[in-house]
Chains A and B, each alone.
Chain A
Amino acid sequence: DADVTQTPRNRITKTGKRIMLECSQTKGHDRMYWYRQDPGLGLRLIYYSFDVKDINKGEISDGYSVSRQAQAKFSLSLESAIPNQTALYFCATSDSGPGDQPQHFGDGTRLSIL
């Protein structure tokens, strides 16, 4: 089983719909992240959480919200989807140890908003 699991893997939906992307991890990491990836652009941070009671906005949080339901679960919601939110979304986790702790990514959710 994957250490960082994202569901769904693919989703096509219509403008105005509410969508939730889910992420769960078995790595025991405290820190979790949501990114989006668009062609020709670097990964951009949407939200991140250092523990269950800590939620922080990233570079592009407008139009998104998150919930950290447990140490292992971090979900991303699009309250009213719009076409420019079409992208590949990644969840990632990292340990809270020394500075060289890398981020570990899920397999991504390909989201298309029509």
Chain B
Amino acid sequence: GQNIDQPTEMTATEGAIVQINCTYQTSGFNGLFWYQQHAGEAPTFLSYNVLDGLEEKGRFSSFLSRSKGYSYLLLKELQMKDSASYLCAVRVMDSNYQLIWGAGTKLIIKP
């Protein structure tokens, strides 16, 4: 079966760094996406990893280890506007390359 695990909720302090983990067990891996979703709004694309290693985009970075079925999203210099849910999604070849989504991690930023 297909399974993606993320922590349900995390809390961090404004200005700090936070790492959101995602582990997956899927039949056939073809890339991993991270999305941000503010409450009541649409998910928006943050990053994509298909090869092992770190991808950096400004304050956000995403890491992938395919052998461990593991990814993380690293957010630096946290701002209040980063309070949102962060969704991990894996593209699987066995499902016509569709995305399997984790339930998301709700990140709460405190002053």
Contact = CB atoms under 8 A, between A and B. Distances in A.
B101 A105 contact: no
A106 to B, nearest CB: 6
Contacts, number: 48
A99 B31 contact: yes
Interface stretch (B59-67, B71-79, B91-99): B91-99
A101 B41 CA distance: 21
Contacts of A97: none
Nearest to B33: A102
Interface in A95-112: 99-100, 102-108
A43 B87 contact: yes
Interface residues of B, number: 25
B98 A106 contact: no
B87 A42 contact: yes
Which has the most chain B C-beta neighbours within 10 Å: A56, A102, A106? A102
A42 B31 contact: no
Given A58-B98, A90-B42, A102-B45, A42 B33 contact: no
Contacts of A42: 4, 87, 89, 100-104
Interface string B10-41: 00000000000000000000110100000011
Interface of B: 4, 8, 30-31, 33, 40-45, 48, 50, 87, 89, 91, 96-104
